[in-house]
Structure 1
């Protein structure tokens, strides 16, 4: 009975979340269409609403740990569900993501993504896309801010091992910016798939920066060790058992 009630509350939460996305997206669209500030304001309000409504409706609290970066850096983050996107974007002043190019054509959402500086990437053409992104940054064509990348390339469920892709090392080397790793345990409470949202404390933790100038291989080893070690600690804190479920 308790599980069924939590499932129904989760369904209510999801419905109202996407309704809020639509309302805010349409309400701010005229401003966002011509203003990066307008687009970012709408996205920040949506993130705040998701965090607040998650606490009220399903009992899922959220917390940001560490020091969110404010300057020109690369944020390399563990990606477990939509919630870690919400938390990271809400914590930094000017976050922008590398996104799949097909999302550009999503009504309203695609326009918002472009206005806040997200960088479209062609599937299967990542090398060329990274080179173009680096060239755009060098020319000042992109909005300044914090570039958020996912080194594993996709959402990864808690406890599942997936290799880190070399693209994050190429971006780090080419941009010449510090990299701030970010760990999380959000997948314990908000999974990649399904409706159920669990009660508890979901955390994103910003880790000490990896300074620019490391060799690519050393950087990749350090990045994976830092993110996986901190994420495992957060999973343990959340009561996650690698041999089963929380």
Structure 2
């Protein structure tokens, strides 16, 4: 659909779901892709699938909440591939420790903050130096409708995703002069999330979305077709009914 030939793209949380769908779309459209996931086997499995399409693909097992590990990964990518043109920050935590906020534990908050907020910031900062030097970059951060509307019994998760939207809008203003666009995508119920797979009540379209439908929006924002789009948060939620 888009021409990503000559572009190098890092996708975090690429082992399954939306991240996998994004990486495969980028690979099909000619990008050199870097599959990053906490689970190294999943990361390599997706990279191998991209290679089967003819793409150059690397894989890394990285905990994005580990700043030093993130910097090592980005440095290795830049050494091997020369640069990073596109970053999709998809890695995130949401399933663990859901329930009323008054019953929640700070350890759970910190896990989500470390991965969802700090992880996104670590990877972004690591790639920005090269993007600024080249006056080009596409950054897409995965937020959530929970960050827009707030999710009952998911206060900590909702908070982290609202933070990602704020981070995106603020960073876009700093990066504009360097030709770097920064956008967010907020999925609703996506069928990679098991409990929503057959849920027909959450959207006015009467169904859950697919990972590929969400990836379609993300790859658009990674492309030169979106060269004048920055600082935006795209809701991919089928016209959400409720939270």
Alignment TM-score, normalising by the size of structure 1: 0.43
Please, what TM-score do these two structures have when normalized by structure 2? 0.44
- Greater RCO structure (CA 8 Å; 6+ sep): 1
Please identify the structure whose Cα radius of gyration is greater: 1
